[in-house]
Amino acid sequence: MHKTVQRGIELGLVRYVDTNKGRCIEYVQVRKTYPIGKPEEWVRLLAYLHLAMVMGYPPEHIALEYAIKMGSSYRYADIVVFADADWRVPHLLVECKQEAIGERGFAEGIKQAESYARQINPRYVWVTSGTDGNNRYGIWQNGSLYALSYLPHFSAREIWWRELKRLVSTFLRRKML
């Protein structure tokens, strides 16, 4: 078993369960269960554990398969981390691709993440294909994605300021109308 997954199990973040769909991974705090047979699910599992265990993002701020309205239908982002536990302010969008996807497929993943970001306006974007080292980080500003060399750790202060700015902006717009 992968040492990151073993540690996630020990911390109570995830666990393996057997269902009528076969062997699955249960994301305990998120209350979601997915079959582990899909190559992309392994990448999402490692990204989720990295966010929670290494980056310090609280599991209650993390949504898996988050529905994003795209025209008249919905698409599903692999992971969205919110600035608040009520899931009102998107902070980080994570798009997971299977390992060894290749540069062309990975570039399509970046475009997919950008299209989701246009809809929900997160602060950061992370596109990953897992353990092969293929990671791209970005900051989303004014409808464009700008490259970053790292993904910021959880910062309650940064998230608090962003939420305060959003509330003030909303208040000012309402007051002006």
Q: What is the pTM of this model?
A: 0.84
At residue 162, does pLDDT exceed 50?
A: yes
Q: What is the pLDDT of residue 49?
A: 95
Q: What is the pLDDT of residue 131?
A: 62
- For the segment 154-175, the average pLDDT, to the nearest whole number, is 65
Q: What is the pLDDT of residue 67?
A: 96
- Per-residue pLDDT of 66-77, as tens digits, reads 999 999 999 999
Closest to 11 (Cα-Cα) out of 23, 24, 29, 25: 29
- Per-residue pLDDT of 14-60, as tens digits, reads 999 998 878 899 999 888 999 988 888 999 999 999 999 999 999 99
Read off the pLDDT band of 141 (50, 70, 90): confident
d(CA 172, CA 126) in angstroms, rounded, equals 31
Number of domains observed in the structure of the chain:
1
Q: Which domain holds residue 63?
A: 3-176
Which CATH number does the domain housing residue 129 bear?
3.90.1570
Most confident of 62-71, 80-89, 141-150: 62-71
**Which residues touch 45 (CB under 8 Å, ≥6 apart)?**
5, 8, 14, 25, 36
Share of the chain above pLDDT 70, in %: 86
Q: What is the mean pLDDT of the chain?
A: 87
Sheet holding 73-82, edge to edge: 62-70, 73-82, 90-96, 124-128, 135-141, 144-148
At residue 99, does pLDDT exceed 50?
A: yes
Across the chain, how many H-helices and E-strands are there? 4, 9
φ, ψ at 100 (rounded to 5°) = 55, 40
